[in-house]
Amino acid sequence: MEPDSVIEDKTIELMCSVPRSLWLGCANLVESMCALSCLQSMPSVRCLQNTSVMEDQNEDESPKKNTLWQISNGTSSVIVSRKRPSEGNYQKEKDLCIKYFDQWSESDQVEFVEHLISRMCHYQHGHINSYLKPMLQRDFITALPGNCSCLKQLSSGEVLNLMRLRWDQYLFKNRPTDGPPNSFYRSLYPKIIQDIETIESNWRCGRHNLQRIQCRSENSKGVYCLQYDDEKIIRGLRDNSIKIWDKTSLECLKVLTGHTGSVLCLQYDERVIVTGSSDSTVRVWDVNTGEVLNTLIHHNEAVLHLRFSNGLMVTCSKDRSIAVWDMASATDITLRRVLVGHRAAVNVVDFDDKYIVSASGDRTIKVWSTSTCEFVRTLNGHKRGIACLQYRDRLVVSGSSDNTIRLWDIECGACLRVLEGHEELVRCIRFDNKRIVSGAYDGKIKVWDLQAALDPRAPASTLCLRTLVEHSGRVFRLQFDEFQIISSSHDDTILIWDFLNVPPSAQNETRSPSRTYTYISR
């Protein structure tokens, strides 16, 4: 019996002489948990004799047959040409390679494949990369069997967020070595399904864990705007300040001052915070240091809303105008165009690469071209001024002081549905692919079934899934994701409604408990 080191060297030599498509999947072991099983199953190989003749000028002048190898991995086929020994010798050599490879541990297999790849030339690495790309880009959600319907209903972002927040302790650590291959992940699957079903049930039944942040404004109370991520919550207050809170400890980390009026709107990314105020200015702050980087003075009255993305910023004002800005950097922001046409204060704007959408106290929604800034159309239907709006794809959802929410098709301007249920002005609204969440001056937050709302056959009584009552004042702003709602109010609080981490005592509740609250008028 030859020593292991000799066997390994011979195996490497043999595998270097066989078609790369036989072992190419091994390289994916470094990046994918599934690649090992794919490698061990070894895709079927068939030999196709090519009738073309190649001249080998370095060896023999006689023509030699060129053999083509084709391997299918389910998504693509790779055909490569090479010269090799006779069919009988190849089969024995291949079986010997696989035999030894299967006997090694997973770590030894990975080390072996890395050694194998290191012996190849740059040209061969390029072919490996081309082969691996479709394997690494496969959509595992759509490939799931039919009994995984709850996973298929989630967007890719929802799945990734759920993995990150709930299961990273399982998915990003070495799996147990004892037990059959993949048994650990098979045992994890029921927990994943249970989590998804529980979250959806909590949303529909209103079961949640509530956290409350008391903002303790120094003079006038009220949280007008907010945005959050996994680490922090940034909010703008009626007392002219911007405060940054730690999302885990709920402690205030930083207070930004500089505006001389209430902070009415804000948005931030990984570099800057942009705020608009009743002092008519837009300020740009460094998100890490809190330093003021820029102050834009353009609007004549309060800046009511703003949005920025991909080098473009749009602001709107009580002065009835919309300003479109080119945002090359925090310190290089130039005015591109001023849009006029509304007959009252412009309360909200949203945009994408195709359209800018604005809503006003004049009861209308106006659509403008993002590229040319030219007017496109007006959406009419609300009976009073419009306070909030969100636009995505073809859908616009708006809330009004007529106490209703309307869904619109932006391309044809048609109103698709009217949602009724709030008792006062609908102040804030957000939607994703499954639900709409709205907040109003009646102090209530309502959760609506978006898919049902888009179905004209769905009865109006089935559209509102849950009404959440915890704020004791007007709801000014909210944001939500797959697991939580975060809302702010005139009552000087921020509430975190957590539908993922619900205490066991609340799991048996079939509905949200009724509560009384004191309404605070301005």
Give pLDDT tens digits for 417-447: 999 999 999 999 999 999 999 999 999 999 9
- The number of residues making up the chain comes to 522
pLDDT in tens, 505-522: 766 654 444 333 322 222
Q: What is the pTM of this model?
A: 0.66
Domain carrying residue 305? 209-502
In terms of Cβ atoms closer than 10 Å to its own Cβ (0-12, 13-18, 19+), residue 97 is buried
Cα–Cα distance between 445 and 39 in angstroms, integer?
A: 52
pLDDT in tens, 372-399: 999 999 999 999 999 999 999 999 999 9
In a domain, residue 240? The reply is yes
> Helices 106-118 & 4-17, crossing angle to 10 degrees?
50
- The tally of domains found in the chain comes to 1
The whole-angstrom separation of Cα 330 and Cα 134 is 39
**Residue of 356 and 136 predicted with greater confidence:** 356
Within 10 angstroms of residue 12's Cβ, the number of other Cβ atoms is: 16
The answer to whether position 435 is within a domain reads: yes
Report the candidate in 521, 516, 440, 430 with the shortest Cα–Cα distance to residue 475: 440
Q: In sequence order, what DSSP letters do the residues of 224-276 get, joined into one string? A: EEEEE-SSEEEEEETTS-EEEEETTT--EEEEE---SS-EEEEEE-SSEEEEE
User: Could you read off the pLDDT of 470-501 as tens digits, one per residue?
Assistant: 999 999 999 999 899 999 998 888 999 999 88
pLDDT at 271: 95
CATH of the domain at 435: 2.130.10.10
343 assigned to some structural domain: yes
Contact 72, 43 (CB under 8 A): yes
**In this structure, is residue 287 part of a structural domain?**
yes
Is 155 among the domain residues? no
State the pLDDT confidence band at 143, using cuts at 50, 70 and 90: low
Residue 283 confidence (pLDDT): 98
In a domain, 125, yes or no: no
Q: So what's the pLDDT on residue 43?
A: 39
Instruction: Name which residue leads in pLDDT, 3 or 132.
Output: 132
Q: Is residue 6 part of a domain?
A: no
Contact 316, 322 (CB under 8 A): yes
Whether 128 maps to a domain, the answer reads no
Radius of gyration (C-alpha) of the chain in whole angstroms: 30
Condensed to tens digits (0 to 9), the pLDDT of residues 213-239 reads: 887 766 667 889 999 998 999 999 999
